[in-house]
Structure 1
Amino acid sequence: MSRATLPAGALVVSCQAHADSPLHGPQWMALMAMAAEAGGAQGIRANGPADVAAIRAVTRLPIIGIHKIGDPRGVFITPTAAAADGVVRAGADIVAIDATTRPRPDGGPLAAQIRHIHETWDVPVMADVDTLDAGLAARAAGADLVATTLAGYVGGTAPDEPDLRLVAALADRLDCPVVAEGRIRTGTHARLARAAGAHAVVVGTAITNPLELTKRFVRAMDDGR
């Protein structure tokens, strides 16, 4: 298998924009990725073949490709083998997939999707998990990296802070790189994630979502009245 992966200590910038954002669209995400690279990012996370292809055209940084086409209330991130195929064809170096223990849309086991990606494309798979048990199961199923992306988002309301305890628990138990992702909003959060054992850190909204950041400032100002 290809060993294309993330450098130790890498900051990965998640370049994604919802449909209600003026930045939604491949051309804008490509510019966002260029800005992230200029700022020192060592990897990009991107959603969908169109955005992945546009970003691949402007950078040689490792791209973690995902495709959010599943059930928003269930397995949502790259839920099928076909979804993975699309982002790899577009230029992704790593494929991230939902590796929670929820039922998968095709009814098959997680290991089958991971095996398909390995055998068809020879690229690493990053398992987006929500718990320690899911992370252990994902590694046993063949995942090459395990990320805390979905911690707090399954079956409840996500807290405000990143789940650094899960980062530490995964790092202690796994023999593969652990990636910290989810609600990492400050440089201090990123530093603490590294200290907890994260191989790399993914930051999205705090860098690439001016719409949400503006709303937060407005809410904070309103609360102070």
Structure 2
Amino acid sequence: MSPDVLADAIRGRLIVSCQAPPGDPMRHTATLVRLARCAQAGGAAAIRANGPEVVAAIRADVDLPVIGLWKDGDTGVYITPTVRHALAVVEAGAAVVAADATFRPRPDGGAFTDLVTAVHAAGALVMADVATADEGIEAAARGADFVSTTLSGYVPGSAAQDGPDLALVEELAAAAGAPVVAEGRIGTPDEAAQALARGAHSVVVGTAITAPTALTRLFAKSLSRP
């Protein structure tokens, strides 16, 4: 799928992240496939999924583009950290590979540009997950087809926030030179609409839709006895 075709397919629309953290009961391939089916039935334009096995299973069962990634580790650059991880995600059927494009060193010493080149050669697109405007602008200059605010508030040098980083969305939309995807702490339909109003090309929502454990914990905490 070409960048223009995919960009048009997700323009102004919702991408649902069908993932679950290690140890969560939802971290089960067939369960995540069902979540993706629900997302499709509800009107999602694409699915974001983690791991070659899950990407392949969703791609085989759901008629939507899959933005695939491969989380390996839990510190430093761990969202599709190397070319090897990226190509495995492409082989699994992802139309787009999401990868960390922050300025932090990659675990194999490689460069983000190497990953972009390899993924494009394999026939897929690249979504750069960034935390700052400078990272997003640089990622687009290095060939990323989309830039996402995924890592804002989650890495050193990026201030923690309670809600979505709409200021970063707006800054990137004005300067990145690539379609900007708003992702991170978008918890309500109103926040998703605000992201589009601030210049986002499309919006990713995960926890607020697909994470019953986290949502239950939120309600339980609000009702906890003093």
The list of structure 1 runs, each at least 4 consecutive aligned residues, that deviate by more than 6 angstroms after superposition, is none
TM-score normalised according to structure 2 size: 0.94
* Counterpart in the other structure of 2:138: 137
TM-score normalised according to structure 1 size: 0.95
* Counterpart in the other structure of 2:160: 158
Verify the 8 A CA contact 2:55 2:68 in the aligned structure 1.
yes
Please state whether the residue corresponding to 1:29 is helix, strand or coil: helix
What are the residue-to-residue correspondences of 1:54-133 with 2, within 5 Å?
Answer: 54-70=57-73, 72-119=74-121, 121-133=122-134
- Counterpart of 1:146, as a letter, is V
Which region of structure 1 is more displaced relative to structure 2, 4-13 or 183-192?
A: 4-13
Counterparts of 2:20 and 2:105, CA distance in 1: 27
- Deviation of residue 157 (structure 1)? 6.3
Question: Do structure 1's residue 198 and structure 2's residue 200 form an aligned pair?
Answer: yes
Aligned match of 1:14 in 4, 17, 22?
Answer: 17
Verify the 8 A CA contact 1:87 1:95 in the aligned structure 2.
yes
Counterparts of 1:50 and 1:11, CA distance in 2: 23
How high is the sequence identity, in percent, across the aligned residues? 52
Verify the 8 A CA contact 1:13 1:43 in the aligned structure 2.
yes
Counterparts of 2:62 and 2:193, CA distance in 1: 25
Number of aligned pairs? 222
- Deviation of residue 73 (structure 1)? 2.0
- Deviation of residue 59 (structure 1)? 1.0
- Counterpart of 2:66, as a letter, is I
Verify the 8 A CA contact 2:119 2:126 in the aligned structure 1.
yes
Counterparts of 1:85 and 1:169, CA distance in 2: 31
**Pairwise CA RMSD of aligned residues?**
1.4
Please state whether the residue corresponding to 1:52 is helix, strand or coil: helix
* Counterpart in the other structure of 1:148: 149
**Is there any run of 5+ residues in structure 1 with no aligned partner, and where?**
none
- Deviation of residue 102 (structure 1)? 0.2
Counterparts of 1:91 and 1:167, CA distance in 2: 28
**Is there any run of 5+ residues in structure 2 with no aligned partner, and where?**
none
Instruction: Give CA-to-partner distance per residue, 1:92-115, whole Å, 9 cap, x none.
Output: 100000000000112122111111
Instruction: Give CA-to-partner distance per residue, 1:40-86, whole Å, 9 cap, x none.
Output: 1111000001111110111121100000014x221010001110111
Verify the 8 A CA contact 2:82 2:110 in the aligned structure 1.
no
Please state whether the residue corresponding to 1:222 is helix, strand or coil: coil
Verify the 8 A CA contact 1:5 1:94 in the aligned structure 2.
no
